[in-house]
Amino acid sequence: MDSIKYLKSTDLKHWLEELARENSVFAPRAEGDSVIFAPFEPKQEMSIKHAPTVPPKKTVFPQSEKLVDFTYSKDPENLGRVMIEGKEILPEGTAVVFGGRPCDVRGFTMFDRVYLAEKTADIYYKTRRDNTSFITLACEKPENTCFCHWVGSSPSDTTGSDVMATPIEGGYVLEAFTERGQDLLTSRLLENGDRWILEAQEVHTIAAGSLTEAPNLSQAPQKLLDVFDNMDFWENAAAKCLSCGACTYLCPSCYCFNITDETAGMQGTRFRSWDNCMSAQFTMEASGHNPRPTKAHRLKNRIGHKFSYYPTIHNRIISCCGCGRCIKSCPVSLDIREIVLEAINYEPAAGEE
Ligand code: SF4
Ligand code: SF4
């Protein structure tokens, strides 16, 4: 089977319509000032010129999802004994996500190391992950907040993608990288794409060449540990942060969640919803003690997790994919790149331990 195809731009919607016959299809759409991932509607314009404001994270890890319906009952022979019957609510159906960028889709591989770990795989995440295919759009013009190349990626990185779509004059070159991806490329709307592959490679080369030289982050895990107890460093870094949480909610590789139960009488539903480690409530304990009492502690954790603790556990892989959303969408433009570089270049003053 050919794994390189060409699709005319004018056929893009028709192709997605075909895929939508058997799958839920998600695609980028403008909503107000933002571009979000929404169910594909042939009558609505897609917004695919620039990277979406919101990554496609919720297509595999919904912002809020039902996990279990449960019912309490009391043992009539022993009223002190309460029994709980639960029924898992597993996601159903298959999905195709069109138009995520390489950084977005690579973000799911950061989830995978945690949510698909051998002994603790998360059945809800796994079910969606197994049933979702990604048709990724290669980036033609990285923005000045993009730094995928700092963290081992590129504007045409195929990690996690089933198909990479590269825009060229009049259409797209589609390359499949998985069996699932090949299955997506069987439409009669697609023609053999071999003769356009050099054009696609040129797009990749130009995009990669437009990025400035990347610093070496190999020392970041240790350097961030070196400044772990230096609260002056972190207070300075977090000074302008408003603790709004936009950075975590918009991050394709942030995966923290909270669990809540909603009950009515003897019945209830357990939900999982995204959480936000930049919030003061995140580590608040029932006693009132908060081990991360200030925004400086919370920012230290967020950056430390991505550039030090996660890479230490997971084969030196940084759990930031360099999408730049936390810079672009931060109301005070706090720049994670600057803080990591400051930590790497930090020299203790004379007498400082
Ligand atoms: S988006 Fe900016 S202001 Fe909001 S919590 Fe993140 S760093 Fe702080
Ligand atoms: S930390 Fe910022 S730049 Fe890195 S993946 Fe998350 S939102 Fe993107």
278 Cβ inside 6 Å of ligand 1: yes
pLDDT for position 278: 97
Give the distance (Å) from ligand 2 centre to CA of residue 275. 16
Q: Is 245 left (phi over 0), alpha (psi -120 to 50) or beta?
A: left
Distance between CA atoms of residues 1 and 295, nearest Å: 54
Ligand number nearest CA of 245 is 1
Contacts 24+ apart (CB under 8 A), 172-176: 172/6, 172/7, 172/9, 172/12, 173/4, 173/5, 173/6, 173/197, 173/199, 173/200, 174/4, 174/5, 174/6, 174/7, 174/135, 175/3, 175/4, 175/200, 176/3, 176/4
pLDDT for position 2: 55
For 98, phi then psi, to 5°, come to -105, 135
Distance between CA atoms of residues 299 and 295, nearest Å: 6
3-class DSSP string for 318-338: CCCCCCCHHHHCCCCCCCHHH
Ligand number nearest CA of 105 is 2
User: DSSP string covering 191-205, please?
Assistant: EE-GGGHHHHHHHHH
Pick the closest to residue 174 from 347, 1, 3 (CA basis): 3
Say how many C-beta atoms besides its own lie within 10 A of residue 4's C-beta.
Answer: 17
55 Cβ inside 6 Å of ligand 2: no
pLDDT tens digits in sequence order for the chain, 353 residues long: 458 999 999 999 999 999 999 999 999 999 999 999 999 999 999 999 989 999 999 999 999 999 999 999 998 899 999 999 999 999 999 999 999 999 999 999 999 999 999 999 999 999 999 999 999 999 999 999 999 999 999 999 999 999 999 999 999 999 999 999 999 999 999 999 999 999 999 999 999 999 999 999 999 999 999 999 999 999 999 999 999 999 999 999 999 999 999 999 999 999 999 999 999 999 999 999 999 999 999 999 999 999 999 999 999 999 999 999 999 999 999 999 999 999 999 988 777 66
DSSP 241: -
pLDDT for position 3: 85
Give the distance (Å) from ligand 1 centre to CA of residue 307. 17
Distance between CA atoms of residues 266 and 271, nearest Å: 17
Distance between CA atoms of residues 300 and 231, nearest Å: 9
326 Cβ inside 6 Å of ligand 2: yes
Element spanning 312, H or E: helix 310-313
pLDDT for position 353: 61
Q: Whose CA is nearest to atom 2 of ligand 1?
A: 330
pLDDT for position 350: 73
pLDDT for position 349: 78
Residue 248 Cα: closest atom of ligand 1: 6
Ligand 2 mutation target, pool 109, 277, 325, 333, most atoms within 8 A of CB? 325
Q: Whose CA is nearest to atom 8 of ligand 2?
A: 323
pLDDT for position 348: 82
204, 6, 57, 89 alpha-carbon torsion, rounded to 10°? -150
Residues in a beta bridge with 8: 171
- The pTM for the full model equals 0.94
Distance between CA atoms of residues 288 and 229, nearest Å: 23
Give the distance (Å) from ligand 2 centre to CA of residue 329. 11
252 Cβ inside 6 Å of ligand 2: yes
Give the distance (Å) from ligand 2 centre to CA of residue 92. 29
28 Cβ inside 6 Å of ligand 2: no
- For residue 116, the SS3 value is coil
Residue 151 Cα: closest atom of ligand 2: 4
The residue extents of the domains of the chain are: 4-345
Buried/exposed code over 193-224 (b: 16+ C-beta within 10 A; e: otherwise): beebeebbeebbeebbeebeeeeebeebbebb
